Amino acid sequence: MILAIDQGTTGTLCLQVDEELRVHARGYAEIPQHFPRPGWVEHDPEEIWASVLAAAEGLEFDTIAITNQRETTILWDRRTGEPVAPAIVWQDRRTAERCRELDADFIRAKTGLVPDPYFSATKLEWLLREHSGDLKFGTVDSWLIWKLTGGALHVTDATNASRTMLVNLDTLDWDDDLLALFGVDRELLPRIVRSTDDLGEGELLGRTVRIRGVAGDQQAALYGQGCHAPGEGKATYGTGSFVLVHTGDDAGPAPHGLLKTAAADGYALEGAVLVAGAAVQWLRDGLGLIAHAAETDKLAQSVDSTGGVQFVPALSGLGSPWWDADARGTITGLTRGTTKAHLARAALEAIAHQVVDVVDALPERPTALRADGGATANRFLMQVQADLLQLPVEVAAELETTALGAAALAAGQGARVPIGRVHEPEISADEAATRRAAWADALGRSRTDRHL
pTM (two decimals): 0.85
Interatomic CA distance for residues 296 and 347, integer angstroms? 9
Q: Are 323 and 260 in contact (CB under 8 A)?
A: no
122-135: average pLDDT: 94
pLDDT category, 451, cuts 50, 70, 90? Answer: very low
Of 122-126, 157-161, 164-168, 443-447, the range with the lowest mean pLDDT is 443-447
Q: What is the pLDDT of residues 367-406, one digit of tens each?
A: 888 999 888 999 999 999 999 999 999 999 888 888 999 9
Q: What is the pLDDT of residues 42-71, one digit of tens each?
A: 999 999 999 999 999 999 999 999 999 999
pLDDT category, 452, cuts 50, 70, 90? Answer: very low
Are 197 and 244 found together in one domain? no
Look up the CATH number of the domain holding residue 230: 3.30.420.40
* Nearest by Cα to 48 from 162, 183, 148: 148
Q: What is the pLDDT of residues 148-201, one digit of tens each?
A: 999 999 999 999 999 999 999 999 999 999 999 999 999 999 999 999 999 999
Q: What is the pLDDT of residues 396-436, one digit of tens each?
A: 988 888 899 999 999 887 777 888 899 999 999 999 999 99
Q: Is residue 452 part of a domain?
A: no
195, 217, 239 - which closes a domain: 217
How many domains, in total, are found in the chain? 2
Are 254 and 320 found together in one domain? yes
Are 213 and 230 found together in one domain? no
308-336: burial string, b at 16+ Cβ within 10 Å, e else? ebbbbbbbbbbbbbbbbbbbbbbbeeeee
State residue 449's pLDDT score. 55
Peptide bond into 418 cis (omega under 30): no
| Position 289 pLDDT exceeds 50 | yes
Domain that holds residue 273: 226-446
> For 444-449, which contacts have Cβ atoms below 8 Å and span 24 or more sequence positions?
445/312, 445/330, 445/332, 446/312, 446/314, 446/318, 446/327, 446/328, 446/329, 446/330, 447/314, 447/318, 447/322, 447/324, 447/327, 448/324, 448/326, 448/327
196, 217, 238 - which closes a domain: 217
User: Which one-letter amino acid corresponds to residue 440?
Assistant: A
Q: Is residue 451 part of a domain?
A: no
Are 160 and 200 found together in one domain? yes
176, 198, 217 - which closes a domain: 217
Are 155 and 264 found together in one domain? no
Taking residue 394's Cβ as centre, other Cβ atoms within 10 Å add up to 21
Are 209 and 232 found together in one domain? no
Taking residue 338's Cβ as centre, other Cβ atoms within 10 Å add up to 16
